[in-house]
Each structure stands twice: as C-alpha cells, then as structure tokens.
C-alpha cells in the first residue's frame, strides 16, 4: 500500500509504503479510485486554524502522526470483516468520512458529523491519500451507480457541505436573492444545487476572473469582490439586500461583505474556514433582526439525500481536474496558491 502522509505539521507530505490493513468485525477495506483535495487538508497540514487576533486553534491535539489526509473518498470494496454485511467485493461506493464515536447523544441523534470525539477519515483516522482505506462499518458506504468516481467522491465533502448549507437557507430564499461568496469547489457545487433546490435569484461573488465567468455561465449574476464598492453593487443588484448569504470563504473580508449585503431579517451562513474574526456593531443584530449560523459538512441522512439527488441527475457537476495520487503535495500547493478551479481529484 502506498500512502502520502503528513509526518510533521507544516511539512510536505511523505510517500510511505506499508501492507494494506486486514478488515475485522464490521470493517470494510476499500481500494481508492479517487480522492478530492480540500482546503481543510491545508489546515490539517498546517496544524492550526487562524482564529484572528494572533490566536490559533491547535489541530495537533488528538491527532497522531503520521496521518494520511484525504476525506473525499471513492473506491471499490476489496475485502470485508465477517460482520460487514450488505457489501460485496467489487462494488463501487463513495465513503462518508465524518464518523463520530457512535455512542454519544449527538451520534445517536443522527448528527455524527458534530460529535465531540470525531473519528473522521482523513482527519483523525487514515484517509484517501492512499491506495487503500479502512472503513469501520458498511453504513458509511453509499453506492455510486453510473457516476464518474472523480465527481462522486467530491460529494463526501464538497457536495455534502454545499447541500447542507443550501438546505439551511432554502426556506428563506423563495423568489428572493441568495448571494454565494466564493466559487471554489464547494461554492460552485452550492451554486449548482441552489438552482435545483430553490427558486432564488442567484448572485455569486469571487476574486478570480475565470471563476466569475464560470459563475455567470452557471446562471448567476456575478460581482467581483475586488471592487471597492462590491457591497453597494450587490445591495443595488439584489434590490436592497439579500435574504441569505452563504460564505464559502470564511475570512474577515468575506464575512463583513456578507453582513453588509443582508436585508433586514437576513441569514448569513458561514461555511469557509479561511480564518479571522467577525466584527459587527451589536445594535445592528436586533435592529435588523440578523442571524449568523455556522454550517459544517452534513449528516449521514443529508448524505443519503444528496445521493438521491445524484441518482435523479440533480446533483452538482463541478469542474474536475484529475491528477495522479503521486501529485498529492503538488495539488495541495496549487490549492494553497489559488490555482484550482472547481476540485482537484487524485485518481488512480
């Protein structure tokens, strides 16, 4: 088995050879066909999130190195433990990676992705920057059908995160403006899903000319965030403000822009993890009845809902750049430098 592992925080990935694990109990061994490269992988490689004001959230706690990154995993079952029923060798699946402890009230309520003791693949347990992944139970496997694996694997994070965020705003944007900030892999997926899941008037914001063109081709009215009057342009274009804004960047500038274009009673959903602090005058919250909500990936039930969308041909199709697994570190470097449109996927 060849893996590209994080052996030191802040250091490049290293190529490591080992024997594939043997599944026991309910475990399933999946041969990786494709694994998406996500911004979260950059934060894990760095070992921290930027909390603003010189503060950091240390990601080294609770993680043992070496760690194989990669949580957008799709592949073929090659072996299973004696208690892993319902899956057969040779079947193709997307892997739900946001695994919890399984025993707490949060997990029992179906919200494993919010568990306080996460066991997520590619985050705390070995992930998909490898040619094999050990999955703890068949319930985390979702059939792919005829979808290309390079696209289907992105549904485990990019698609799921977009789906969960759009669900949070859907009730507010009926024939009203929805602004999407950031058209990377997740933001572009959300734009596609919003077209299927809502009848909102869609507006998209980014800082890259090619990305803005892609947003316009996907049916959104686009605004360049680099413009000094971007907020004023959006407020004018939306007729006085947006019913909801989804921020897929999560920076101080993007969050401030999102707040600045909300209409009274509006909702800002923060998804991105770029970092920093949210600053706003407190009287505005009650006077304008504003709401800010975080959104983190999605539950197993939401994953099932997304895959039903895929079966019906309504799931998002985003730009995919396929690269060999050996390019894992180069893919991270390009993502960090902003040279990725859509999703980079490591595919065998």
- Single out the residue of 119, 115, 118, 72 nearest to residue 95, CA to CA: 72
Among residues 305, 35, 36, 313, the alpha carbon closest in space to that of 147 is found at 313
Q: Find the Cα–Cα–Cα–Cα dihedral 293, 297, 298, 302, rounded to 10°.
A: 110
Predicted local distance difference test score (pLDDT) of residue 141: 98
Over residues 314-326, the mean pLDDT reads: 88
Which pair of structure tokens corresponds to residue 247? 């921020």
Q: Contact 278/255 with Cβ under 8 angstroms? A: yes
What pLDDT, on a 0 to 100 scale, did the predictor assign at position 124? 95
Specify the pLDDT at position 270.
Answer: 98
pTM of the predicted structure, to 2 decimals = 0.91
Distance CA 298, CA 157 (A): 8
When pLDDT is cut at 50, 70 and 90, the band that residue 56 belongs to is very high
Distance CA 85, CA 61 (A): 34
Q: For tokens 């079966």, what's the residue?
A: 311
Which residue shows structure tokens 């289907």?
152
- How far apart CA 210 and CA 218 sit, in angstroms, is 12
- 39 pLDDT higher than 80: yes
Question: How do 177-181 and 242-247 pair as beta strands?
Answer: parallel
Looking at residue 106, its pLDDT comes to 97
pLDDT surpassing 80 at residue 345: yes
What pLDDT was estimated at residue 186? Answer: 87
Q: Note the pLDDT tens digit of each residue in 269-286.
A: 999 998 899 888 999 899
User: CA 128 to CA 136: how far, in whole Å?
Assistant: 14
Task: Answer yes or no: is pLDDT of 136 > 90.
Answer: yes
Beta strand 92-95 pairing with 177-181: unpaired
Burial-class residue 100 by CB neighbours within 10 Å (0-12, 13-18, 19+): buried
Q: Which tens digit of pLDDT belongs to each residue from 163-196?
A: 999 999 999 999 999 999 999 878 988 999 999 9
Locus of tokens 């894992």: 328
Domains, in order of start, for the chain: 2-157+298-347 (3.90.180.10), 161-294 (3.40.50.720)
pLDDT value at residue 247: 98
Closest CA to 27 of 76, 84, 77: 84
Provide, rounded to the nearest whole percent, the portion of the chain with pLDDT above 90. 85
Residue 190 tokens, joined: 């959300």
Q: Across the chain, where does the E strand assignment appear? A: 2-6, 14-17, 28-37, 48-52, 55-58, 67-68, 72-80, 92-95, 132-135, 141-143, 177-181, 201-206, 221-224, 242-247, 262-270, 291-294, 320-323, 343-347
Residues shown for the chain? 348
Bond prior to 231 in cis (omega within 30° of 0)? no
Report CA dihedral (105, 190, 143, 97) to the nearest 10 degrees: -40
> CA dihedral in degrees (71, 72, 75, 81; nearest 10)?
30
Give the pLDDT score at 253: 95
Around Cβ 101, how many Cβ atoms within 10 Å? 13
Angle of helix 328-336 relative to helix 39-46, nearest 10 degrees, comes to: 100
342 has a pLDDT exceeding 90: no
What is the pLDDT, as a whole number, of residue 324? 97
* Look-up of token digits 């449109």: 341
Tell me what pLDDT residue 216 has.
96
pLDDT at 219 over 80: yes
Is residue 84 within 8 A of residue 25, CB to CB? The reply is: yes
Q: Is the peptide bond before 260 cis (omega within 30 degrees of 0)?
A: no
pLDDT, mean of residues 75-101: 96
Q: What is the mean pLDDT of residues 64-73?
A: 97
**pLDDT tens by residue, 227-275:** 999 999 999 999 999 999 999 999 999 999 999 999 999 999 999 998 8
Helix and strand totals (H; E) in the chain: 11, 18
Average pLDDT in the chain: 95
């Amino acid at each position: 088995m060849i893996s590209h592992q994080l052996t030191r925080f802040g250091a490049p990935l290293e190529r490591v050879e080992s024997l594939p694990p043997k599944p026991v109990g309910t475990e399933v061994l999946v041969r990786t066909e494709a694994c998406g490269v996500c911004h979260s992988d950059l934060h894990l490689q760095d070992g921290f999130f930027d909390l603003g004001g010189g503060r950091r959230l240390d990601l080294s706690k609770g993680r043992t190195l070496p760690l194989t990154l990669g949580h957008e995993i799709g592949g073929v079952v090659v072996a299973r433990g004696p208690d892993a029923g319902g899956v057969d060798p040779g079947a193709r699946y997307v892997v739900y990676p946001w695994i919890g402890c399984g025993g707490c009230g949060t997990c029992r309520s179906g919200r494993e992705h919010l568990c306080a003791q996460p066991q997520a693949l590619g985050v705390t347990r070995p992930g998909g920057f490898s040619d094999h992944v050990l999955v703890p139970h068949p319930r985390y496997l979702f059939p792919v059908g005829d979808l290309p694996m390079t696209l289907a694997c992105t549904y485990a994070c990019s698609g799921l995160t977009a789906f969960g965020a759009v669900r949070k705003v859907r009730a507010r944007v009926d024939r009203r403006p929805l602004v999407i900030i950031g058209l990377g892999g997740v933001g572009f997926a959300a734009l596609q899903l919003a077209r299927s899941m809502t009848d909102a008037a869609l507006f998209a914001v980014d800082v890259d000319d090619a990305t803005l063109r892609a947003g316009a081709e996907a049916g959104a009215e686009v605004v360049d965030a680099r413009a000094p009057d971007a907020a004023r342009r959006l407020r004018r274009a939306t007729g006085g403000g947006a019913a909801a804004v989804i921020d897929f960047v999560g920076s101080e500038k993007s969050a401030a822009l999102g707040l600045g274009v909300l209409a009274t009673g509006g909702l800002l959903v923060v998804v991105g993890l770029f970092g920093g602090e949210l600053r706003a005058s407190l009287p505005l919250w009650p006077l304008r009845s504003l709401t800010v909500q975080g959104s983190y990936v999605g539950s197993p039930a939401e994953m099932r809902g997304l895959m039903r969308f895929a079966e019906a041909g309504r799931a998002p199709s985003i730009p995919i750049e396929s690269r060999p697994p050996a390019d894992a570190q180069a893919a991270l470097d390009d993502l960090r430098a902003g040279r990725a449109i859509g999703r980079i996927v490591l595919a065998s």
